[in-house]
Amino acid sequence: MQAEKLTAPVLVTGATGYVGGRLVPLLLEKGYRVRAMVRSARKLGCRPWAAHPNLEITEADLHDTQSLRNALSGCGAVYYLVHSMTARHNDFKQADRTAAYNMVRALKNSGVQRVIYLSGLVPDDSAISPHLRSRAEVAEILSLSDTPVTVLRAAQILGSGSASFEIVRYLADRLPVMVTPRWVRTECQPIAISNVLEYLEGVLRVPETEGKTYDIGGPDILTYKDLFDIYAQEAGLRKRLIIPVPLLTPYVSSLWLNLVTPVPTVLARPLVEGLRNRVVCSENTIRELIPQELTGVRQAVRLALDKLRQHTVPTCWSDAGTPPVPEWIACGDASFAGGTVLHSAHMVRIHAEPDEVWTHIRRIGGETGWYQGDALWRLRGFVDKLLGGPGLRRGRRHPEELFVGDALDFWRVLDIREERRLLLLAEMRLPGEALLEFTLTPAEQDDASGAGGQEGQTGQAPQTELVMTARFLPRGLWGIVYWYAMHPFHLGIFSGMLRAIARKTGKDITAGPVRLKDSRSRFDGSGGSGTGNSGSGGCAL
């Protein structure tokens, strides 16, 4: 593609993902017009670059060909940065295949002049893992299009928040002695995320790369054991004792990885299967076409650790994708549609401005904890890990910032409205679907009495009503049993959380914490008992 044709927008699929979320601001910085493709525009609304004049946000889905055609309209190039290896796509191979074929159909007569696909480094080996085979298959499908496809094949990507780095970090931090599978001796050629981004932008500038495939890797070839050793040195840890055991199967290894790291079993297994393959560049021609200073593994680890310590991680592997909105919170459903939604709501009123309370709401989870019953939260997280869920180890990307779609321990941010509302979707293993909502509302002075006990004098300062509501759509009889078994714990923990949050503000509690007999949150406007059917009556989002 010639330089003058770059005035057309560049479509970035997977714009909320680990790589896409970093590529978009880089392209904007270099003067490109960017169209960021997402399933939900709300997820990009809080990004610092969301209001950039050269950025256009478009909603589309790779599993909806017509929406893809709309997203591609008028674009000169496309970055294909998506894959379906998530907990919502157990058959990730079929999901990837369908998405790639849809892209090929949408590209026809679209006017798009090239596609750039970030794939995995696939060895010339018939015994490659299903994960790597799927990445190679996507490249083959995309090449069926008349549009030239440039494929960049990367091994492990090292950077703050990347899955590869987080796995190494959690294993090395938590296990001074590691019993590992044979793959710990497998060679790999990791590449720093900064180098990946430079290559992605570079191939768009260099027309000679059209329709070509390139291996991209860093300057170091080493084993996974070497990677653990380097991390331990840079993190100031003692040397880790690593004992390879040949009998550990990929399934057993994935269970072990799930227990120690934030990676759930559904993701850990394909990753572990891929680690048994030697992933080293077979050619380095791209280094001549797009010269740059390659970051070594030690420096990449050092930079990633610095980002973590400074709380400046821009994207994280666990935040990729768009959280699915449960159908039962959609507008217009009758109160009995989809089954009985159980709920428990608690309220506290505080002599404080909403922003003073919000400061502590937005810090919830991660290193801050949940303000009450942290031991019980940790126990629930441990049980979730045993069941193959994410547990609490995912933590959060930043100690204070929250964006729609962010992972928050075993929750996912479904909606956030500054100083008004935080809505979390449970991703823990449950016999049903669960939401946890915090809402803040300025309270009238005259309403301060009659809702519960008081602490301190009311005075004339502004008041804020904080309501915390848990909602649960049970799946079968076991779901109902689960809710009522947990309900006594919820009563104590939720009231304690509200009291602790109120005290964190340093202001007086004027009412509560008290359990509400009806649901007053913005989720709906209906009544109902504290553990009954919440109805619908409104929108969650």
Q: What is the pLDDT of residues 142-189, one digit of tens each?
A: 999 999 999 999 988 999 888 888 888 888 888 888 887 777 888 999
Give the lowest-confidence range in 127-136, 229-238, 489-498. Answer: 127-136
Q: Which pLDDT does position 445 carry in this prediction?
A: 60
Calculate the alpha carbon distances from 356 to 30, 440, 464, 502, 505 in Å.
39, 11, 9, 9, 6
CATH of 3-319, one of 3.40.50.1970, 3.90.1260.10, 3.40.50.720, 3.40.50.300: 3.40.50.720
Does residue 497 or residue 276 have the better pLDDT?
A: 497
Amino acid at 149: V
Can you tell me the distance from the alpha carbon of 280 to that of 288, in angstroms, rounded to the nearest whole number?
18
Burial of 309 (0-12, 13-18, 19+ CB in 10 A): exposed
Q: Which pLDDT does position 332 carry in this prediction?
A: 36
| CA 245 to mean position of chain CA atoms | 32
pLDDT higher than 90, residue 321: no
pTM: 0.69
pLDDT higher than 80, residue 355: yes
Mean pLDDT confidence for 402-411: 85
Q: Taking the chain, what is the end-to-end CA distance rounded to the nearest angstrom?
A: 42
Give the lowest-confidence range in 195-199, 246-250, 436-440, 503-507. Answer: 246-250
Predicted confidence band of residue 248 (pLDDT cuts 50, 70, 90) = low
Q: What is the pLDDT of residues 12-54, one digit of tens each?
A: 998 888 899 999 999 999 999 999 998 888 777 778 888 899 9
DSSP structural state of residue 505: T
Q: Which pLDDT does position 269 carry in this prediction?
A: 67
8 Å CB contact between 424 and 405: no
Mean pLDDT, the chain, whole residue set: 82
Q: Which pLDDT does position 337 carry in this prediction?
A: 37
Long-range contacts of 27-33 (CB under 8 A, 24+ apart): 27/201, 28/52, 28/54, 28/55, 30/201, 32/6, 32/204, 33/7, 33/8, 33/9
pLDDT higher than 50, residue 87: no
Does residue 363 or residue 260 have the better pLDDT?
A: 363
What are the boundaries of each domain within the chain?
A: 3-319, 327-515
Using alpha carbons, select from 285, 171, 284 the residue that is nearest to residue 231.
Answer: 171
Mean pLDDT confidence for 89-112: 86
Q: What is the pLDDT of residues 516-541, one digit of tens each?
A: 875 444 333 333 334 444 443 333 45
Give the lowest-confidence range in 100-104, 145-149, 332-336, 519-523. Answer: 332-336
Predicted confidence band of residue 90 (pLDDT cuts 50, 70, 90) = low
Amino acid at 134: S
Mean pLDDT confidence for 246-272: 68
- Name the percent of the chain lying above pLDDT 90: 42
Q: Which pLDDT does position 37 carry in this prediction?
A: 94
pLDDT higher than 70, residue 3: no
Q: Are strands 411-417 and 407-408 parallel, antiparallel or unpaired?
A: antiparallel
Tokens of 338: 């989809």
Q: Which pLDDT does position 521 carry in this prediction?
A: 41
Predicted confidence band of residue 315 (pLDDT cuts 50, 70, 90) = confident
Q: Yes or no: is domain 327-515 CATH 3.30.530.20?
A: yes
Q: Which pLDDT does position 249 carry in this prediction?
A: 66
Q: Which pLDDT does position 296 carry in this prediction?
A: 95
pLDDT higher than 70, residue 284: yes
Q: Which pLDDT does position 528 carry in this prediction?
A: 35
Mutual angle of helices 476-504 and 354-361, in 10-degree steps: 130
